[in-house]
Amino acid sequence: MARYFDSLGRWVLNRIENSLDFCAYITRIFRSLFRKKGASLESGITVLFKQVLFTGVQALPVIALVALALGAIAIVQSLTQLPRFGGEAFVGKILITVIVRELGPILTGFIVIGRSGTAITTEIGNMVVQHEIEALESMGIDPIRYLAIPRIFGVTASLVALNIYFDVFALIGGFLVSKMVLFTSLSIFLRQLIAAMVISDVTVSILKGLIFGILISLICTFRGFAVRVSSTEVPQQASKAVVGSITALFIADGIITFIYYF
């Protein structure tokens, strides 16, 4: 029994310590971001562009593929299930709610975690092991300002853009299936979508993309810097980054949805 409480106590203390470290990391990000004296953010612009290229541009094919498939599946399911309840008129609304408001941001977030989040944690973790972070500090270069902040901006901007891109392709996927099955014309399909869509659908979707981007980049950079000395820590931290990001995504999604409906 004593051993059980001992391990439970350690687990709780580890969680608290981890949360405090994360809060301290966020504080450091803000301090570095609003630092007036010294270096500008210009030196990190190359890092930012590389991040947008990797997270955003290079992810376009996979996002398009997943979105087209999701749009097609969603419309097939809607067209087969809804008529049984006399709900054909809600196809557009369901497509908007499922894709634009919920699955679009979540699936885009998952793809970004899998492609870029793990890459960020691994890259920064390896830099710690190879003393590159120490080398930056020894030159007076703030690793937060040079490495973390450009990645946070890059991932967030990319995720917002990819989310919109995902929504568009998912709706195209839905249209293609409607066209093949119901011979729906583009104008009718668009009219149905516009009628079903309200401005808050788009704003909630963009807001989710923004918050997910910030969360993923913060967690993944934090996990990279959490590597201490050994290269064996790198995959462990990458795994924690994935689990942490997915958990944060669902919690944030739940909170945003709750706020929106209530």
Burial letters 155-171, b for 16+ CB under 10 A, else e: bbbbbbbbbbbbbbbbb
CB of residue 83 to other proteins, shortest distance in Å: 55
* CB-nearer residue toward other proteins: 138 or 187: 138
Number of other residues whose CB lies within 10 A of the CB of residue 201: 18
Among the listed residues 236, 169, 262, 248, the one whose alpha carbon sits nearest the alpha carbon of residue 208: 248
* CB-nearer residue toward other proteins: 15 or 31: 31
Q: 171 and 193 in contact (C-beta within 8 Å)?
A: yes
Planar angle of CA 229, 52, 63, nearest 5 degrees:
105
Cα 1 to its chain centre, rounded Å, is: 41
Quote the CA–CA distance of 153 and 150 in Å, as a whole number.
Answer: 5
CB of residue 51 to other proteins, shortest distance in Å: 12
* CB-nearer residue toward other proteins: 38 or 86: 38
CB of residue 226 to other proteins, shortest distance in Å: 17
Cα of first residue to Cα of last residue in the chain, in angstroms, is 44
* CB-nearer residue toward other proteins: 58 or 130: 130
* CB-nearer residue toward other proteins: 145 or 240: 145
Interacting residues toward other proteins by CB under 8 A: 28, 31-32, 35, 37-40, 42-43, 123, 126-127, 130-132, 134-142, 146
CB of residue 166 to other proteins, shortest distance in Å: 29
CB of residue 32 to other proteins, shortest distance in Å: 8
